[in-house]
Amino acid sequence: MADTWAATRTMIPYASRTGTRRNLDALRNSGWHLLVSATGKHRHEGFPYAIDNGAWTAYQKGRPFDVGAFEAVVESLGDNAEFIVVPDIVGGGHESLRFSEEWLPRLRGVGRRQLIAVQDGMTPGDIRSLLCDEIGIFLGGTTDWKLETMRQWGQLAQETGAYFHVGRVNTARRIRLCQFAGADSFDGTSASRFAVSIPLLTNAKNQLPLWEII
């Protein structure tokens, strides 16, 4: 059954890059990877890593998307990135998708794969034809929309053989929801900021029940 397949997946946890040695040691010992943002320090600290385009951080600070910072992090770290989040427009819906499509040719062949950020207003039919082993899904959007649509994006990824990542996941419950939806990976800031949360979140990733989780 699809639900059983999804709930038995082993996900990769990504933490936002931090320079705090204690947290880095705890993350490394627990098998976490790093998500390096274009708007932060362009360092992977010896971890396996992926690249975030920095659009969310710019949006939170009321700034325009920093094209230069994104191009710089892709230039310095792109070749060995496990995935790169294609530039998007936070809250942009279909306009964001068109923007991401403009970037796809420029990123082709860089890193292991590129992920298209999906958000409020988009449906699986909007990106199905773009998905393959090299182009996957990054689930962004508002929290309510993300939780309501997570399963359908996971189903789309399964049908197309595409990679599926969920952004902004900072609780054990949401980790379980990601696993049940068939996500390949997730990221959050909690593990980067608070070393004491790492065992709890790692345990949630490793011990996921098939019974009711909502």
Least Cα distance to 210 among 26, 1, 70 occurs for 1
Q: Please give the structure tokens belonging to residue 47.
A: 């971890």
Q: In DSSP terms, which residues pair with 15 in a beta bridge?
A: 34, 188
Q: Which amino acid is at 64?
A: P
Domains of the chain with bracketed CATH: 2-206 (3.20.20.70)
Backbone angles phi, psi at 72, to 5 degrees: -70, -45
Place of tokens 């989040």: 85
Are the CB atoms for 168 and 190 separated by under 8 Å? no
pTM score: 0.91
Q: What is the pLDDT of residue 8?
A: 47
Q: Determine the angle formed by the axes of helices 197-206 and 172-181, rounding to 10 degrees.
A: 30
The pLDDT, as a whole number, for residue 213 is: 43
Helix axes of 172-181 and 143-160: crossing angle, nearest 10 degrees: 30
Residues of the chain under the 50 pLDDT cut = 1-2, 4-5, 7-8, 208-214
Q: Token pair of 64, please?
A: 């325009």
Q: Per-residue DSSP letters for 155-189?
A: HHHHHHT--EEE-S--SHHHHHHHHHHT-SEEEES
**Strand pairing category for 33-37 and 49-52:** parallel
- Tell me how far apart the alpha carbons of residues 53 and 90 are, in angstroms, rounded to a whole number: 11
Which residue type occupies 24? L
- 3-class state of residue 14 by DSSP: strand
At 3 the pLDDT is: 52
Strand partners, 135: 114
Decide: 10 and 178 in contact? Cβ < 8 Å.
Answer: no
Compute the 3-state secondary structure of the chain and give helix, strand, coil in percent, each to the nearest 5.
Answer: 45, 15, 40
